[in-house]
Amino acid sequence: MGNQQQDSMLVSAEPARDIMVNCENGTIVRNTRILLTAVDCVRIMLIYIATAICSNKDKCMKLTGPEKVVRNLLASAGIKVGGKNPWDIQIKDRRAYDKILGQGSLGFGESYMDNWWDCDALDDLICRIHEANLREKAKKDMETIALAVRSRLFNLQTNRRAFEVAEKHYDLGNDLYEPMLGKTMAYTCAYWRNASNLDEAQTAKFDLICRKTGLKPGMKILELGCGWGSFAKHAAENYGVEITGYTVSKEQVALGMERCKGLPVVLRLDDYRHARGEYDAIISIGIMEHVGYKNYRTYMKVADRCLKKNGVVFIHTIGGNKSRTAIEPWLNKYIFPNAMLPSIAQLATAMEGLFIIEDLHNIGPDYDRTLLAWHENFEKAWPALKEKYSERFYRMWRFYLLSCAAVFRARYAQLWQMVLTRIGTPQPDCRIS
């Protein structure tokens, strides 16, 4: 055989066998004659079997850089890609790895909206991500950095920008919000202490606020951020007060005035900064998340300007565990543009010299249950809603409700109720639960 024999790694005195070996992937080819030992034949058959098992080329590929990083991060939170637990993530499109790693929370949410991945228990998945603090472990993505810089350089909650969140979120359509929110049309955290359903819990929340602020018949109340007039309706009907409310949503004013027909309630389509008059109490339920850290002091000055002597200010707001200047990029882009969660430090600094905190009550865990109730109502209503809203909207809205539920379950955010008075005011009886 000469040189051919020296080049071959397989030399045998046994009969030659007609067999083919594709050196690239181990598949069998015909009409190639080489000398093999019995051991060599076994080795080739093992290669063939392994190749057959891994016939799906994607499964045999080595992990890419982004995929490896994402899988390892998720694994540190007890989440397995392709796992059998309800919180495990199922990747449908490998592009998801690059998008998640490159764009952080924005890419995570958008790839879900695009159906690149799925999960049976989306809220449990995201709760585990927060509990494992993966947000801090992963490197900062450019969207998060850019949003933080933008919020520091510019006032994202000016008079002109104040209406953006209404146009993009609150004015989506009352046909969406009515079945989701229930009879009360309350779009803030409910109070579940003695409640068995969403409507009871929202009514209990309204009553808790009325008692904390000491409402009595004949009082004049200013509500900054009045939504669909849900609290105004309850307070006017049950406590005999007059209420003037402000909101930037035209849909909320239209439906709210219809709901409050015949009651001493006026809802105005205007920014809170334009509020005028004197009131016995000033109540804000879910507006502080839209005020912005550059405007907290302005809010406090508006409250001081409009509050009668010995009056009470009440604030019901989602709050963050750390002082930040922007929310997650996905929420900012798709749900609440220009929003942010205040910290205790930011609010305390803003009220310094104007108000003192008489009571601080954290009912954050109740928001988990509230969001799950909204999600359940949304799912029930979807067959009637899908003619107007797209499948991508459906996945976006599910991600919004369930990811926010996870945030409160992981104690990553809180829900504070604060009672404030001016310095020198007799302390009110507001420690109520």
Beta bridge partners of 129: none
- Pairing state of beta strands 307-320 and 413-422? antiparallel
Would you give the DSSP letter of residue 251? Answer: H
> Which residue from 274, 256, 350, 361 is spatially nearest to 316, judged by alpha carbons?
361
Catalytic entry in 189, 260, 404, 430: 404
- 404 labelled catalytic: yes
- How many residues would you count in the chain? 433
- The DSSP result for 374-406, as a single string, is HHHHHHHHHHHHTTTS-HHHHHHHHHHHHHHHH
8 CA to centre of own chain: 64
Q: How far is CA 245 from each of CA 226, 236, 312, 389, rounded to the nearest angstrom?
A: 5, 12, 16, 30
- How wide is the angle at C-alpha 69 spanned by C-alphas 63 and 75, nearest 5°? 100
Helix (H, G, I), strand (E, B) or coil at 40: helix
Q: Provide the token pair at 361.
A: 């009550």
Contact between residue 263 and residue 215 where contact means Cβ atoms under 8 Å apart:
no
- What span, in angstroms and rounded, lies between the C-alpha atoms of 159 and 180? 29
With both helix axes pointing from N to C terminus, report the angle between 198-212 and 365-385 in degrees, rounded to the nearest 10. 130
Helix (H, G, I), strand (E, B) or coil at 74: helix
The residues, ordered by sequence, that sit 6+ positions from 173 with a Cβ below 8 Å of its Cβ are: 251, 388
Catalytic residues: 404
